[in-house]
A and B are shown apart, each in its own frame.
Chain A
Amino acid sequence: METIVEQLTKYVVKANENKQALCIRGGGSKDFYGNPKGLHDSKLETGPYRGIVDYDPTELVVSARAGTPLNELESLLSEHGQMLAFEPPDFNGTATLGGCIASGLSGPRRAYTGAARDFVLGIKLLDGQGRILNFGGRVMKNVAGYDVSRLMTGAMGTLGVLLEVSLKVLPKPESERTLCFELPVEQALETMRRCAGKTLPVSASCHIDRRLYIRLSGIESAIDAAHVKLGGDEFGDSLSFWESIKNQTHPFFRGNKRLWRLSLKPTAPPFSITGEQAIEWGGALRWFAAAKDYDATAVRAQTEKAGGHATLFRGKDPNIPVFHPLPPDLLKIHQRLKRQFDPAGIFNPQRLFPEF
């Protein structure tokens, strides 16, 4: 019988011959994400290619097939007291490892322990010509060849089909506690920055609904000491609060609002534009729920001024590119790389940028 990889390869080879656009799809939890024109009818389903390939807790490395459900992977790690330290969102619970890495999205812990790309050690990739390629590996340090593994992280599947991924994992903290402060946005930002410059066991921060939440992780005695230094009230429902931020089920994210994700220099002042805002990552990530008619160009201009980029995360508009447009010289490099990995342009065309 034909294996799943053989099937996937056959589809890709055929699509490459016919220049047929393919939509690579794992669990479909991120169908909402990316340019709507990039959601092509022909789906290349990676969900069936699932399962853990190798996991040895003492190596701090796990390898799994792209279709492995994220929650399955995370519960296996949890059994061994380990975790994906970038705390990826799984949205409706159907997210797969492949989609997690292809979208490159990281959760509340990102500013303190690193992003999805920081933990990628190796990949197995199906390229546009139907070749199966291996990059990186299962070791922490590896500088042989260009870092193609990390290049795939956040490429939204435009460079190839992820088949397998190896990730560095970390031990789960012994204990966690969330502190809560009633603070206006300026003071909340200031507190977040003060924390960043000190050796405090902070693992998440979020300002939402005029409250600042700071999560501490580690051993109990270190959390106690940090709590004394920072003050604030202990917030009871820590676990479900951070889940609601990670997966955007918190009331702030609900409704048909147009939701912008602004990634900028953490010290940037609060945005002067009207609309509701939530702040994460020590100030480096700001969610902005704009009124429908708010000018996208103005949002992008302000974000650029603040050293960052703006993504129209939810609430698509056919006239607004979802991802922040690239300057021409960078776009040129992107287009050339795209041609090298996917000469016929079959993988998720336009999902990332309208130009390819």
Chain B
Amino acid sequence: MRHANLVEAFQNILPSESVLFEPEDLRPYECDGLSAYRQLPMIAVLPGNEAEVIEILKICEAEKIPVVARGAGTGLSGGALPHADGVLLSLAKLNEILEIDPVACTARVQPGVRNLAISEAAETYGLYYAPDPSSQIACTIGGNVAENSGGVHCLKYGLTVHNILKLRVLTIEGDVLEIGSEALDSSGFDLLALMTGSEGMLGIISEITVKLLPKPETARLVMAAFDDIEKAGAAVANIIRAGIVPAGLEMMDKMTIAAVEEFIHAGYDPDAEAILLCESDGSNEVVANEIEKIRDIMHESGAVRIDTAHSDAERQRFWAGRKAAFPAAGRVSPDYYCMDGTIPRKHLAEVLRRIEDLSLEFGLRCMNVFHAGDGNLHPLILYDANRSGELEKAEAFGARILEICIEAGGSLTGEHGVGIEKLNQMCLQFGDAERDLFHAVKAAFDPDSQLNPGKAIPSLRRCAEFGAMHVHRGEEKFPDLPRF
């Protein structure tokens, strides 16, 4: 079908303002949070309800047109990057909270509802939705499911996959699947887990039932400064060894501390090599007990300064520094590139040393913030896009960091997804057989590969080409690690 006919077909089923096809109207959709990659879609559609989404998919299926779903477009891996010959399906207008059941502790919502809006709506019942990605004021729950988003509290409260019960999923073949249930499990395969984090490759989510949790009675925060990053890493291990699962456990390195302190004045120790923020939440009894233990462990682990927030305002101030790490990077450098690898925590010091070596090698600075509790590292590579070649250098630096994470027995992405960004590294983390099976899984839902084609799982050919040009420098690191 020609472009004009297609526009007409969509206009027949949607209000005309919901079909965008002029370049200037399409511009806002050309990229997501990974703005280094831009592409205008052929057409963007903005349905207002599930019936319209079904009609859109019917047209796309009949014409074999690629479909890229998009929520708020805050993703950081290019997962919502449009397809040049495809339809960009914005689910932002499906933004209603359909039902909150305070007794069952659930909320039924449309995919375009913002993450934070769920907690705000549940607040009157003393409930909240636990996963809190840093973009939670803007990002949508549909996007959270597509990426299996985490947040700073996920060591204790889990990721999106642990906090949803049920999905309505529209397939490209026109089926409406009810996946999961209002019960705690379902008959058959765990398709709920398969859908979560599938990056819009298997189906279009039109409704989500999430779990709500009772709001903790109280939360308190300990901030500890260390003169050695290895000591800070040991403190993290000691906290876990003591049987504590903190609500949040974050680490920042020296460069981050300096950048943040200048920006926010959070009260961090500027001489520290590393700072840990450790939060306990729950009932008053539990929090009082845990905070005392955490302080003791920080002390025994060699912290040079330990502060416990005495008020909620002070706690918020300590957190504000951590939450401002990304904007602070934006202040000390014209551009920054945020990475997202995970590692077994015990390799933290070694991985950070190697990142430092790379920083010298590439001549680019790197700030490190770390969800220390769950081993999720976010190196922020600082560069200047106006200097010729720096973006490419930053990308090469980033790719090397991901390879180090994989070598350490970790993963190339903890919470940002693969998208378009990490396709090459997928060739390193998985073998041909695993990638072959990933493609087979996609084919079970989307036989003609129309949903977000070309993302998340690299083609066998791409990996063959990448393998040919990719040379591992030196010997494999961590040779004693089991690869599992």
Interface residues of chain A, those whose CB is within 8 Å of chain B, are 53-54, 56-61, 63, 81, 104, 110-111, 114-115, 117-118, 122, 124, 127, 131-135, 137-148, 150-151, 153-155, 159, 164, 166, 170-172, 174, 193, 196-201, 218-219, 221-222, 224-226, 263-267, 281, 284-285, 307-309, 311, 323-327, 329-330, 332-334, 336-337, 340-341, 352-353
Question: Which residues does chain B contribute within 8 Å of A61, judged by CB atoms?
Answer: 344
- Would B346 and A59 count as touching, CB distance under 8 A? yes
CA distance A199 to B126 in the complex (A): 10
B374 in contact with A164 (CB, 8 Å): no
Is B411 within 8 A of A144, CB to CB?
Answer: yes
Q: Does A309 contact B282, Cβ atoms closer than 8 Å?
A: no
Q: Once the chains are docked, how many angstroms separate the CA of A159 from the CA of B148?
A: 23
Contacts of A147 in B (CB 8 A): 148, 161, 193-194, 196-198
A143-B418, A337-B444 given as contacts; is B175 within 8 A of A329 (CB)? yes
| B residues near A57, Cβ cutoff 8 Å | 240-241
> Are A145 and B456 in touch, CB under 8 angstroms?
yes
Of B196, B411, B483, the contact of A141 (CB 8 Å cutoff):
B411
Within 8 Å CB of B182, what residues of A? 264-265, 307-308
Cα distance, A148 to B196, chains bound together (Å)? 11
A222 to B196, CA, bound (A): 35
Picked from B189, B241, B416, B426, the residue with its CB within 8 Å of the CB of A58 is B241
Q: Among the listed A117, A172, A174, A333, which residue makes an inter-chain contact with B444, where contact means beta carbons less than 8 Å apart?
A: A333
B482 touches A151 (CB 8 A): no
Q: Which B residues are in CB contact (< 8 Å) with A59? A: 240, 344-346, 375
Given contacts A135-B434, A264-B182, contact A63 B415 (CB under 8 A): no
Asked whether A193 and B189 contact (CB < 8 A) given A225-B285, A281-B184, the answer is: no
How far apart are B231's CB and chain A's nearest CB, in angstroms? 15
B386 interface residue (CB < 8 Å to A): no
Judge whether B342 and A264 touch: CB under 8 Å: no
B403 contacts A by Cβ under 8 Å: no
B187 contacts A323, CB within 8 Å?
yes
Q: Which residues of A contact B373 (CB under 8 A)?
A: 140
* A57 to B196 CA separation, bound complex (whole angstroms): 28
Interfacial residues of chain B within 100-151, with CB under 8 A of chain A in the complex: 101-105, 125-127, 147-148, 150
Which residues on the B side are within 8 Å of A153 (C-beta)? 190, 193
Return the chain B residue nearest A266 by Cβ: B104
Contact across chains for A154 and B185 when beta carbons are under 8 A apart: yes
Binding site for A on B (CB under 8 A): 101-105, 125-127, 147-148, 150, 154-155, 158-159, 161-162, 171, 175-179, 181-191, 193-194, 196-198, 202, 214-217, 237-238, 240-241, 243-245, 282-286, 288-289, 342-346, 371, 373-376, 409-418, 422, 426, 429-431, 433-435, 437-438, 440-445, 456-457, 482-484
B216 to A: closest C-beta gap in Å:
6
A198 in contact with B214 (CB, 8 Å): yes
Which of B125, B185, B244, B422 makes the CB contact (< 8 A) with A115? B185
Q: Is the CB of B158 within 8 A of A118?
A: yes
CA distance A155 to B456 in the complex (A): 25
- Interface contact A309-B181, CB-CB below 8 Å: yes
**B438: A residues at CB distance < 8 A:** 145-146, 148
| Complex: A222 Cα to B290 Cα, angstroms | 11
Chain A residues, CB < 8 A from B217: 199
Q: Is the pair A263, B483 in contact by a Cβ cutoff of 8 Å?
A: no
Neighbour of A267 across the interface among B103, B177, B433, CB < 8 A: B103
- Compute how far the CA of A81 lies from the CA of B245 in the bound complex, rounded to whole angstroms: 13
Interface centre among B187, B198, B344, B445, by most A CB within 10 Å? B187
B416–chain A nearest beta-carbon distance, Å: 8
A114→B162 contact, CB < 8 A:
yes
Q: What residues of A have a CB within 8 angstroms of the CB of B243 in the complex? A: 81, 171-172, 174
The minimal Cβ–Cβ distance linking B480 to chain A, given in whole angstroms, is: 11
| Inter-chain contact B185/A104, CB cutoff 8 Å | yes
User: Shortest beta-carbon distance, A308 to chain B, in Å?
Assistant: 4
Can you add 18 more A-B contacts, CB < 8 Å, to A142-B413, A308-B182, A333-B444? A58-B241, A110-B184, A131-B433, A143-B415, A144-B429, A146-B198, A146-B457, A147-B148, A148-B437, A150-B194, A154-B190, A196-B214, A265-B183, A307-B181, A309-B187, A329-B171, A334-B189, A336-B443
The answer to whether A114 touches B289 (Cβ under 8 A) is: no
CB-based contact A137/B193 at 8 Å: no
Q: Least Cβ distance of B176 to chain A in Å?
A: 7
B457: chain A residues at CB < 8 Å are 145-146
Q: Are A337 and B413 in contact (CB-based, < 8 A)?
A: no
The answer to whether residues A222 and B175 also contact, given A142-B342, A154-B185, A265-B182 and a CB cut-off of 8 A, is: no
Min CB distance B100 to A, Å, is 12
Q: Known: A54-B482, A59-B346, A327-B178. Contact between A117 and B409, CB under 8 A?
A: no
